[in-house]
Structure 1
Amino acid sequence: MIASQSVMFESFEGDALASMGFATNGELIQHVANSYDQHFRIINSDGEPVEGLPYLLKSADGTTLKGTTLANGATDLVSANDTHDVQFLLHVVRGE
């Protein structure tokens, strides 16, 4: 017998998971009708994405989200039922 599929597993970048409705940890993102989804993308002065940069998002409703930027420089996707202010904080350490 020959297996019909030769791929044993697949891996996805965090942004690919988000486009399929999953968080970077693989959990299903709960979407609500008329929801607002947003992420931030960090690039350097050459226009290249910055991976692994720690960030903190503080929402107007008191929700906070910590993470590090993905390979494409993006944060995790943030969803809300309506528009509101979000404070975006970066922790940048410059090398010597």
Structure 2
Amino acid sequence: DAAEEVVAPAMPAECLLDRNALIMGYSGVYSSFLKHAIRQSERYGVPAHQLLHRAGQRKLIGGQEDQLIDIALEIKREQQSGATATR
């Protein structure tokens, strides 16, 4: 009963196992990074899973989600320089 009456209404969506969730676990990134990574992915046009993976490489911890902006800008620069180099 508690699952349906208390937990289900509090959950914004069902649990989802996708690329981002797998990378988050693989990289050891705290779950609070997921929504921030998706937001920065949409804002800067970079893959969220790359943001999460790099956050894990840098061993970021909860409360450091703002650093995803720097990572997104870094990935964006790499994408642009790679596109320029292939032309």
TM-score (norm 2): 0.30
Q: Which has the higher helix share?
A: 2
Q: Which has the higher strand share?
A: 1
TM-score (norm 1): 0.28
